[in-house]
Structure 1
Amino acid sequence: MTYDRVSAQYDIEKKSLVVAYVLWFFLGYVGAHRFYLGRPLSGFLMFAFSAVVLLLTFVSFGVLGFLWFVVGLWWLIDALLIPGMAAGRNTAIADRVFSRRR
């Protein structure tokens, strides 16, 4: 493949910070941004934890609602981690795409 074609392939596959932050803002409590950034295990854990907290909140009639603080804290911390996650994912994509050039 030519360099232009490889570079175009990288541009197609790379992860956008804007998309990651939009997913984080609207669906971050279920880990959508983590799935997008290639971290399915932690995305699933975030989804499962949110589901368990939701279930516990309903079952306890709101008594365990304070657990949403933990979900919210994880959500806020992820706002700081997204640039690093995106950079790591984009580096992996670049390594894979540009290694095909040879």
Structure 2
Amino acid sequence: MSAARWQRLVDDLAAAGVESSVLDKPYTESVYGCVHHGVSRSITMLHPVSGIISISDRQWSKNPDVWVGWQVFREGRDSIVIRTWPITKKRSDVVAHVLEAFNTEDRT
């Protein structure tokens, strides 16, 4: 389910003229003594001037099985977060946030 959701986001970004690809990272963690395996997915793009733009999943803090949406981050060349956008489940909002992030200049 998650992989298909990410692929739809990549397709929407491509339709807006933004090249991107999903980075899959398998992980293992212990939750209340039980071992859980999963895959962490994210998208990272280089900003044309400096820094990066990244999109990541957000889960509910009280139940990590509940997906609350994507969040877009803009980092400067020194890896300090310049701006974050609100968490949203709407792909159109994520695309708008990414396009806005590409127009955000470094303040450093």
| TM-score w.r.t. length of structure 1 | 0.30
Q: Which has the higher contact order (CA 8 A, sep 6+)?
A: 1
Between structure 1 and structure 2, the one with the greater Rg is: 1
| TM-score w.r.t. length of structure 2 | 0.29
Larger helix fraction of residues: 1
Larger strand fraction of residues: 2
